[in-house]
Amino acid sequence: MALVIKFEEKPSSSASYRSETECGYRIVDFRGKTILHLETYGSSTRAIPGKISQSLQFDVASARELHTLLERAFPELRGS
């Protein structure tokens, strides 16, 4: 589990994915700070299907930066 503190663009020649998964989320209070917790789960072909694979946490600063990146990637979200 990791709190995202910075985003850095890492250009790549390809943008593909290997599989699809669900993303669970919860909004928690941690020491008086609101945290958005996201987690993805292992596919049915993994040794322990459904086990948490990755988790990321965002505070208000990193959520603001993520919001900006989402609007940049998906301009149609602006003003929503």
Sheet harboring 23-30: ordered strands across? 2-3, 52-58, 33-41, 23-30
DSSP 17-62: -S----EEEEEEEETTEEEEEEEEE--TTSSSTT-EEEEEEE-HHH
pLDDT of residue 49: 74
CA distance 75 to 77: 5
Backbone angles phi, psi at 30, to 5 degrees: -125, 110
Q: What class is the 22-77 domain?
A: mainly beta
Domain chopping of the chain, boundaries: 22-77
pTM higher than 0.85 for the full model?
A: no
Phi, psi of 37 (to 5 degrees): -110, 120
Residue 15 Cα distances to 9, 10, 11, 24, angstroms: 13, 11, 10, 23
10-48, pLDDT tens digit by residue? 888 677 777 788 899 999 999 999 999 999 988 777 777
* pLDDT confidence band for 61 (50 / 70 / 90): very high
